[in-house]
Amino acid sequence: MKRLLHLQLLPLLSGCQNFSLFLLDGLPKNQFDIYVASAPDGDFVEAVKARGYHYLPLKYMKRPISIKDTLALAELYLLMKRYHFDIVHTNSSKPGFLGRLAAACSHIPLILHTEHGTSFQSDQSIWQQNLYKQLEKWANNMSDYVVFVNNTDRLQCLKLGLVSPFKAITINNALPYEQVQILTNIAQERAYKLDKEEFVIGSTIRFSQQKNVINLISAACQACKKESKLKFIILGEGEYWNLCRQIVHSYGLNERIILPGWDNKIEKWLALFDAFILYSRWEAQPFSVIEAMHSGLPIIISDIPSLRELVTEECGWLVPLDNQAALIQCLIEVATHRDIAFEKGIAASQRIKEISDYKTMVNSYLQLYRKVI
């Protein structure tokens, strides 16, 4: 059996961590001895242990960049020397850099990284972007393969010379079939809810700069003032959650814009939504949108290249980034044309099945894992 390590940062059950669980669950159990490492505690850790995988807590792995990252690197190096992994698969930016460096120094036979969004973004200063690009290039040179979950990021990194064409691969994210079936059942029930008075636009996000939540909540408040049918349910947590609550309260819309916090059981919420929104500044290939499309929801997205790979005008609305007037108008139009929204939702459920398949995802990674010497 090959000894496989999946390296994560935060112990949360968000998209990046769910990716590891989905992929690992689909691997042949008689071929891999599975280890998972991350910062300790949290729902992700419990999910790993419940599956019977080996869990390795990382004491020094933290999100902010600091001098303690040297301790995190040493911790990873010692861990890899101790367990003699055959494959190290890193996820997200910091584990991607530190993990690949430690793996290379430990002479791991196969080093693979999944790029869940690049570390450099247009919102950063020029020096930050250049620094992160150089770090990505260095880490990519230490990898055997770099898997991108969309073509946009792969082509950008190739154009910038950050990764070799022989290492760069695109593999779309996908949900396990049993979860797809649950969401498909939700989609089939939507036809019985077309006579609802209110129109609920929902989302599952981290209340962060990336997810553009301040602009989203502000637009939702203004749209609610203009259209009485509108209601919003935005699930999630994060650094801007309290500020968003204050914005909603200042408009007197606590009953119509609901911010219930985080809930891992997303299916019951998707059944309540009439449309799904993700107005992010940047994305890779979010599982939240994949889930929403499988559940038959039309999708409202920011018009950025990576999201256009998932959502077309046939199955949703593409709104220019940083255009509040256009966003507000879109929210109002969606609520007043429920029949169009329903038809777009049907198209969304059909499209996601065409471009996102679980067996294809698992087999694509399995082919890479089997290249270990």
Terminal-to-terminal C-alpha distance of the chain: 13
Fold identical between 2-174+357-369 and 177-355? yes
Give the residue among 77, 8, 71, 72 at the shortest CA–CA distance from 42.
8
Superfamily of 2-174+357-369 according to CATH: Glycogen Phosphorylase B; (3.40.50.2000)
Q: What is the pLDDT of residue 191?
A: 67
Burial class (CB in 10 A: 0-12, 13-18, 19+), 367: exposed
What pLDDT is attached to residue 117?
86
- Cβ-contact 269, 259 below 8 angstroms: no
Cβ atoms of 146 and 140 within 8 Å: the answer is yes
Count Cα neighbours of 1 within 13 Å in the Cβ-side half-sphere. 12
Q: Which two tokens stand for residue 272?
A: 């309540």
Can you give the C-alpha Rg of the chain in angstroms? 21
Note the Cα 134 to chain centre separation in Å.
24
The contacts of residue 78 (CB under 8 Å, 6+ apart) are none
* pLDDT by residue, tens only, the chain of 373 residues: 899 999 999 888 888 999 999 999 999 989 999 999 999 988 999 999 999 999 999 998 887 777 888 999 999 999 999 999 999 999 988 899 999 999 999 999 999 999 998 888 877 788 888 988 999 999 999 999 999 999 999 999 999 999 999 999 999 999 999 999 999 999 998 865 666 789 999 999 999 999 999 999 999 999 999 999 999 999 999 999 999 999 999 999 999 999 999 988 899 999 999 999 999 999 999 999 999 999 999 999 999 999 999 999 999 999 999 999 999 999 999 999 999 999 999 999 999 999 999 999 999 999 999 987 6
What's the pLDDT score for residue 193? 61
Domain boundaries, the chain: 2-174+357-369, 177-355
pLDDT at 53: 97
Q: How far is CA 346 from CA 56, 93, 225, 355, in A?
A: 43, 35, 29, 15
- CATH architecture entry for 177-355: 3-Layer(aba) Sandwich (3.40)
